[in-house]
Structure 1
Amino acid sequence: MPITAVEKDLDALTMTVVADFPVPVRRLWDAYADPRQLEKFWGPEGWPATFTRHDMAVGGRSQYVMTGPDGETPGGYWEFLAVDEGRSFEVRDGFARPDGSPDPDLPATRMVYTFEETGTGARVTTTSYFGSLTELEQLLSMGMEEGLRSAMSQIDAVVADLTSFAADRRAESQVLSDTQVRISRVVRGTVEQVWDAHHDADLMRRWMLGPDGWTMPVCEPATAVGDSYRNEWEQENGEGRFGFTGEVLEWDPPRREVTTERMIGMEGPAAVNEMTLTPVDGGTLLTVVVTYPDAETRDSVLATGMVDGMEASYARLEAVALTPA
Structure 2
Amino acid sequence: MSDFSAPNEIRIVRVYDAPVQAVWDAWTDPAQVAQWWGPRGFTLTTHSKDLRVGGKWRYTMHGPDGTDYPNVTLYHEVEPLRKLVYDHGGTDDTPPMFKVTVLFEEADGKTRMDMTMALADAEAAKQTRQFIKHANGDSTWDRLAEYLGKRLADEDKFVINRSFDAPQDVVFDMWTKPEHLARWLPPTGMTMRFIRADIRTGGASLYCMGNDAVTMYGRAQYEEIRRPDLLVYTQQFCDENENIARHPMAPTWPETMRTTVQFSAETPARTRVTVTWEVAGKATAEELAVFLAHRASMMGGWTGSFDKLEAALES
TM-score, reference length from structure 2: 0.49
> Structure 1 length normalisation: TM-score?
0.47
